[in-house]
């Protein structure tokens, strides 16, 4: 299956193109929770595909803020998107897995929380990270946009305990 907007290959059953964001089904046919999850997933796919423009299209740029799980660890505004775009240029082999999604919609605002494990290579250094993520979205001009993200790594001690717990025989 190929996107009718950008022509790139897409997964069967997709509601949106992971490359350009083109919507294949009308919003009225899918729930707000599904739309919110799709927006946040498209944001992560933007990282995987090293597509800063796709990421920027998903945020409410004038109001956007984030706490990242990479330095700098302070609150960033949309300038953080520029820093991230620079990092995407040296990112390779990015893979991720999300779990434990909880999405609540409150009229024209929504919050999505989940955990993510991701790995890849940046400037020839391998990384493997597990984080908690919370995204706050609002409906702006009839479209859901990310207003704030908070990515927070699991403490190293917790990750080590998880390795030990996972090494036992079943």
Tell me what pLDDT residue 169 has: 45
- Contacts (Cβ under 8 Å, ≥6 apart) of 35: 27, 144
145-163: per-residue pLDDT in tens? 999 999 999 987 655 555 5
User: Averaged over 29-53, what is the pLDDT?
Assistant: 93
Integer CA distances (angstroms), 64 to 55, 61, 78, 163, in order: 12, 5, 6, 35
42-78: per-residue pLDDT in tens? 999 999 999 999 999 999 999 999 999 998 899 999 9
Which residue did the predictor score with more confidence, 15 or 116?
Answer: 116
85-101: per-residue pLDDT in tens? 999 999 999 999 999 99
Q: Is the pLDDT of residue 124 over 70?
A: yes
What is the phi/psi pair of residue 127, to 5°? -140, 155
Helix (H) or strand (E) holding 139: strand 125-140
Lowest mean pLDDT among 4-8, 32-36, 79-83, 95-99: 4-8
Q: Is the pLDDT of residue 110 over 90?
A: yes
Q: What is the per-residue DSSP string for 82-133?
A: HHHHHHHTTEEEEEEEEEEEEEEEETTEEEEEEEEEEEEEETTEEEEEEEEE
Tell me what pLDDT residue 85 has: 95
Which domains are assigned to the chain? 60-164 (3.10.450.50)
């Amino acid at each position: 299956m190929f996107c009718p907007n950008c022509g790139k290959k897409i997964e069967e059953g997709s509601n949106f193109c992971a490359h350009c964001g083109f919507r294949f089904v009308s919003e009225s046919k899918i729930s707000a929770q599904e739309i919110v999850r799709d927006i946040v997933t498209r944001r992560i796919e933007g990282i995987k595909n090293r597509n800063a423009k796709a990421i920027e299209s998903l945020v409410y740029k004038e109001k956007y803020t984030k706490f990242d799980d990479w330095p700098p660890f302070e609150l960033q505004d949309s300038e953080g998107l520029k820093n991230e775009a620079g990092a995407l240029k040296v990112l390779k082999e990015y893979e991720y897995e999300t779990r434990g999604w909880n999405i609540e919609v409150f009229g024209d605002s929504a919050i999505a929380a989940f955990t993510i494990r991701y790995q890849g290579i940046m400037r020839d250094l391998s990384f493997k990270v597990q984080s908690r993520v919370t995204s706050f979205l609002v409906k702006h001009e009839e479209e859901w946009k990310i207003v704030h993200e908070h990515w927070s790594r699991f403490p190293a001690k917790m990750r080590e305990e998880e390795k030990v717990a996972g090494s036992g025989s079943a």
